[in-house]
Amino acid sequence: MLFGTARDALRGLLADGSTRRCWRRLWIPSYFCQDVVASLRSTGIVLVTYTDDPENPLTVGNARFLPGDALLVVNYFGLRGMPSYDRLLPDTVAIIEDHTHDPWSVWAINSEADWCVASLRKTLPVPDGAVLWSPVGHPLFSEPALTVDRRAASLEKLAAMALKALYLEGLLGDKEFFRRLAISGEGRIASGDVSGITEWTRALLRTFPTGTWRERRRENHRVLLSAIGGIPWATVLRPQDAVDVCPFSGIVLFDSAERRDHVRECLMASRVYPTILWPLESLALPGIPPENVDFSRRMLSIHCDMRYSRADMLRVAEMIRLI
């Protein structure tokens, strides 16, 4: 079932879970996007955190489960393999997996979770879009209508994407047009009522060569991993022990927050725009361990998707090495 965003899919699912399945609490991993956490608040379900991070396998260490609990599990940066829940959880807990960072992983395809969600706009060139499915066949609720606000936000983002393409071809001199539209559209892309997907994104999703693009992402990651190897103050996170893993991006961890900030500024000055996934400076929930905040301050996500070539990966790695 398709939605405007993953936040819509999760909000719709939590509303359905509270009314029809007596869900009362959602366990959220401590290392997670705080904007998503903030938006889930509006559902009224109680949000609690369990300790988890991208460097370690899932353990749900500190969670004490009660009847009416649901658990959100994230495949961080597409680096994880399918966990074995039997040893971790009572079977009363509803499992919701977030496959945003690699919706086509072996784990996602063979999942045994109650529900899976993936935002599609992180791996595909679409202005909106997310998918929700139930691997174990729970009945789905009805797909929400597209809201007026979301239609407008998606159109702004779509216009920004088209203008950016012209800019990158050298046909448009001013970045400001598309930047303003992109920021405005992004600011409104998950707000208001739960929304369905736009008709243009639904149509676009049928056209993409996702397998070929995923292979490029994997190959680019391999190149980046080996090119950054040997820099004493930076490491690239490696896939956890799993089959057919395709990382979302190059997650580079620096030896200090200061070095990360310096590298980020230098890359941006050279028009390379890494991202921080996720900033944990302002927290939507208590109980985030200081180690998570430290990781967030020392990490950079370097894009390695189908827009980039092997030469691009080598160039970025060389820039980082020489900074």
Nearer to ligand PLP, 49 or 227 (CB): 49
Choice between 6 and 316, CB closer to ligand PLP = 6
Burial 217-253 (b: 16+ CB within 10 A, else e): bbebbebbbebbeebeebebbebbebeebbbbbbbbb
Report which of 95, 12, 116, 13 is spatially closest to residue 50, judged by C-alpha positions. Answer: 95
Q: How far is the CB of 4 from ligand PLP (least distance, A)?
A: 8
User: Toward ligand PLP, which CB reaches closer, 66 or 109?
Assistant: 109
For the CB of residue 255, give the shortest distance to ligand PLP in the complex, in Å: 25
Residue 278 CB, shortest distance to ligand PLP, in Å, is: 7
**130: its two tokens:** 């997310």
What is the closest distance, in whole angstroms, from the C-beta atom of residue 248 to ligand PLP in the complex? 8
Q: Roughly what angle, to the nearest 10 degrees, separates helices 176-188 and 148-168?
A: 150
Q: Among residues 72 and 227, whose Cβ is nearest to ligand PLP?
A: 72
Shortest distance in whole angstroms from residue 271 CB to ligand PLP:
23
Specify the residue, 188 or 315, whose C-beta has the smaller distance to ligand PLP: 188
Please identify, using beta-carbon distances, which residue of 144 and 223 lies nearer to ligand PLP: 144
Q: How far is the CB of 232 from ligand PLP (least distance, A)?
A: 30
- The contact set with ligand PLP (CB under 6 A) reads 5-7, 33, 36, 74, 98, 100-101, 119, 121-122, 130, 190
Nearest-Å Rg of the Cα atoms of the chain is 20
Give the sign of the dihedral formed by CA 119, CA 122, CA 124, CA 125: positive
